[in-house]
Structure 1
């Protein structure tokens, strides 16, 4: 991937910080969680506490979000100086569309990525989607961190996403916090079938897959995770489409040898075919 190597050469010219940024993989919750406060939802509170610690410990110049909700043919990067809030969920009460999170973008970084990686398409028409702002409004509630998103090429192989994450590693030394936002278990078809019966409880198999994927992450069994559809009997049930799983491949690709993994939220999901397991990787 010559263009990705060029990107690494570019990032090597940016100012290096003495403290390396961590990497996150996080859930962004269900749309039904949006009106809930951090006191009402433990996962939101875990993000709030993590965000306080991150801003105390690190000088974060910008956050790059790889969101499950921006899937494209090819790779796009958002260059907006002020991010538009995207309500990409449907059929909810009005209050779900009145929550505001107004963050600045990071257009200079985004435009340089385009200059070094020609296949990236710049666009001002995207913003912060459901994979970004519901999580960010608890992680950084003051919206004081510039944020931009890079899209997921829906048709690219899992190995590509992992390798792209690896190529982004040097950004960690330049003040960029990179966050993969998705869900390790996300089967929307099964969720809808379950809800149609009036039953909102998990199926029961979710815990088995969650235990397996945690073990693979902790043991750095990257090949197993990249081949998630065949590595475990429940793989295709847990992630029948790539969108919500692929963000974890970016995060794992960014892992450094000295990083330690800490699962900052691993409470059992209360919804069927869904996971809120979230973790941070840092070596400082």
Structure 2
């Protein structure tokens, strides 16, 4: 692993089926990981873990959580046996508390598919310790940006900080469109994605934090906010000013924007 400062990442993790069939998005994640190299550990802020107060996993050997239903049996047999990082969990807790963000450690939670599905392609040997950071959906973008900023020093210690969520996440529209045979990209999803992308590219965090009232079709793009909030952890960890690399851009099923970014 290089001694240089690691980027922070945001990944739209897509359907759990990406674990079986990487597709273009999964191939982009894998190529990015090859360029980054093997980190000391990975801190994953996943949309699929929500708590009332910030929590971080302190599990020594986290289980693989199959937190979905109705998929092929092959998907439920997947195990991502990465070790945990209890000592790093305590460091994360300390950094957040230093920023006046009260944080607990969850000693028993495993890795949900927001974490292990992309990591299967990024680090398939499962030999990098992984811990998760929970989202607080009712506390908004500013809170998650502050968490990311508190964790920024970890990037100098070989820790890869990843926000795993989605650029747009309206599953009702996704399944409706799929039931109708797919089709063109939904205009509202494109408009929301473009609004967010412009502000990411131009370092306009002050506007992004008000996304739910300022972005076009915000509440249709995200009927609930948990899949968008990991972006703010990644942006916070990127610091006050960041350079953006677009790792992947595209749509799945016409309404799910699959954007992924690296921030340095």
Asked if TM exceeds 0.5, the reply is yes
The corresponding residue for 2:144 is 161
Pick from 257, 260, 264: which aligns with 1:275? Answer: 257
What stretches of structure 1 move > 6 A for 4+ residues in a row?
none
Pick from 22, 26, 31: which aligns with 1:49? Answer: 31
Task: State the secondary structure of the residue aligned to 1:207.
Answer: helix
How far is the alpha carbon of 1:115 from its aligned partner? 5.4
Is there any run of 5+ residues in structure 1 with no aligned partner, and where?
1-16
Note if contact 1:27-1:135 (Cα within 8 Å) is conserved in structure 2.
Answer: no
State the alpha-carbon separation in 2 of the partners of residues 163 and 146 from structure 1. 24
Matches within 5 A, 1:59-208: 60-114=39-93, 117=97, 119-195=102-178, 197-201=179-183, 202-208=185-191
- TM-score normalized by the length of structure 2: 0.91
State the alpha-carbon separation in 2 of the partners of residues 199 and 253 from structure 1. 39
How far is the alpha carbon of 1:230 from its aligned partner? 1.4
Change (3 A) 1:217 1:114: closer
State the alpha-carbon separation in 2 of the partners of residues 94 and 237 from structure 1. 32
Task: State the secondary structure of the residue aligned to 2:6.
Answer: coil
Deviations 1:94-135 (A, max 9, x none): 112012211011111113434563832222221111110010
Note if contact 2:145-2:236 (Cα within 8 Å) is conserved in structure 1.
Answer: yes
- TM-score normalized by the length of structure 1: 0.85
Please tell me the root mean square deviation across aligned C-alpha atoms, in Å: 1.9
Change (3 A) 1:128 1:259: same
Aligned length: 258
Change (3 A) 1:96 1:18: closer
- Do residues 30 (structure 1) and 15 (structure 2) align? yes
Note if contact 2:177-2:253 (Cα within 8 Å) is conserved in structure 1.
Answer: no
Note if contact 2:13-2:117 (Cα within 8 Å) is conserved in structure 1.
Answer: yes
Note if contact 2:63-2:81 (Cα within 8 Å) is conserved in structure 1.
Answer: yes
State the alpha-carbon separation in 2 of the partners of residues 29 and 140 from structure 1. 17
Which deviates more, 86-95 or 152-161?
Answer: 152-161
How far is the alpha carbon of 1:138 from its aligned partner? 0.5
Q: Which has the larger radius of gyration?
A: 1
State the alpha-carbon separation in 1 of the partners of residues 186 and 161 from structure 2. 32
How far is the alpha carbon of 1:209 from its aligned partner? 2.0
Is there any run of 5+ residues in structure 2 with no aligned partner, and where?
none
- Do residues 238 (structure 1) and 221 (structure 2) align? yes
How far is the alpha carbon of 1:206 from its aligned partner? 2.0
Task: State the secondary structure of the residue aligned to 2:193.
Answer: helix
How far is the alpha carbon of 1:207 from its aligned partner? 2.1
State the alpha-carbon separation in 1 of the partners of residues 59 and 159 from structure 2. 17
Change (3 A) 1:249 1:257: closer
Note if contact 1:154-1:242 (Cα within 8 Å) is conserved in structure 2.
Answer: yes
